[in-house]
Amino acid sequence: MTTKPSKTMDPVPNPHPDREYEIEIETPEFTALCPVTGQPDFATITFKYVPGPYIVELKSLKLYMWSFRDEGHYHEDVTNRMLKDFVNIIKPKKLKVTGKFNVRGGVYTTVTAEYDQEKEQA
């Protein structure tokens, strides 16, 4: 497996597809650039999901998160982009992505984006 940033994640077959369970992954070292100033933004990103046919391979998730490091993104955009990519690749039943961005100019930002397979299909 490569150790270079990547815009993809590796799906791994869910070892317990007969059971509904929740997985929570927290990544406290996320960085991207402010699209206005070019300064680094730091955040804790949390993925909380109920797996469908796949779970995410963690090293590929780390490389995916790393791929944003030198790119400019608004907090709202990057959080929703992660949700979309995770849903398209890992195909969870439910997913909540929370980006808790560190203070910049006296302002903290927390962005939460959610996906529910049942609601999307209705």
Active site residues: 34, 41
CA distance 106 to 5: 31
CB 85, CB 65: distance < 8 Å: no
Give the three-state DSSP class for 84.
helix
Provide the CA 13 distance to its chain's centre, in angstroms: 19
Q: Which residue has the tokens 């209705």?
A: 122
**CA-closest candidate to residue 91, choices 122, 64, 62, 54:** 54
Strands 11-13 and 40-50: unpaired
